[in-house]
Amino acid sequence: MTFSIVARDSRTGALGTAVTTTVTCVGALAPHVSRDAAVSTQAYVNVDLGLATLELVAAGETVEAAMRGALARDHHVEQRQLVGIGASGEGFAFTGSEVLADSGHLVADDHAVAGNLLVSTEVLEAMSRAFASSDGEEFTSRLIGALEAGLAAGGERDSSDFAETYGSAAVLVASPEPKGFHNLRVDASLTAVADLRSVYERAVESARALDEFYAGAIVVNPVHWRRSALGEQHDA
């Protein structure tokens, strides 16, 4: 009942993930980012998989090695779905054999997508096409656009059964130039993806107004990747 994208912005080096599901508060569970990697942990979700992957990548592992290492510690690995991408654009994904059908993943240039309980693999293909075809647009918007494309392609299987069920959506980005609209969540909504787009548009307007009013004096350094950002400043 979840689909997500992890991606790298080739223009800026930003890394991010966007995810939606038919339960509340997915932003508190699935997305994990740093300046080194972006990860979504889903299906029978294990938050530790996202955290462990970021820690292992920060220690020098590739995304694939880090994800495999994190999964190797999990006693219920076949129930997990994990997708990630690294700073050089390399992606890796895993879908366990006990994840709800239809499930799967797709790894492409600078992005990877994954989902479970989908109407078909066309959902993943539509997400991938949407991201690839929006090259040059603002990165956070591209991630949300991939969710919109997945939803338009049918999204979750038996979605009518969830018509009155509150869902959620989130986008999280680690960027060399952090902005407030890089960390957005809709925690409980019947139209979570549409609401995430609406929140994004308002957040972009607000960020631009604040940048103008405060003349760049506001410093955004989100806790999600503060350690790596401070490390870069220290090394400089």
**Residues 142, 133: Cα–Cα separation, whole Å:** 9
Please state the domain extents for the chain.
Answer: 2-235
- Percentage of the chain beyond pLDDT 70 is 89
**Residues 29, 39: Cα–Cα separation, whole Å:** 11
Q: Per-residue confidence at 211, pLDDT binned at 50, 70, 90?
A: confident
Mean pLDDT of the chain: 91
Tens of pLDDT, residue by residue over 66-118, are 999 999 999 999 999 999 999 999 999 999 999 988 999 999 999 999 999 99
Which residue has tokens 């680690």?
174
Kindly report the backbone phi and psi dihedral angles of residue 35, in degrees, each rounded to the nearest multiple of 5, phi listed first.
Answer: -75, -5
Classified by CATH at the fold level, domain 2-235 comes out as: Glutamine Phosphoribosylpyrophosphate, subunit 1, domain 1 (3.60.20)
On whether the pTM is more than 0.85, the answer is yes
pLDDT mean over 181-202: 97
Given a contact cutoff of 8 angstroms between Cβ atoms, the answer to whether 96 and 79 are in contact is yes
Identify which of 96, 89, 133, 134 has the alpha carbon closest to the alpha carbon of residue 112. Answer: 89
Tens of pLDDT, residue by residue over 153-173, are 999 877 666 677 899 999 999
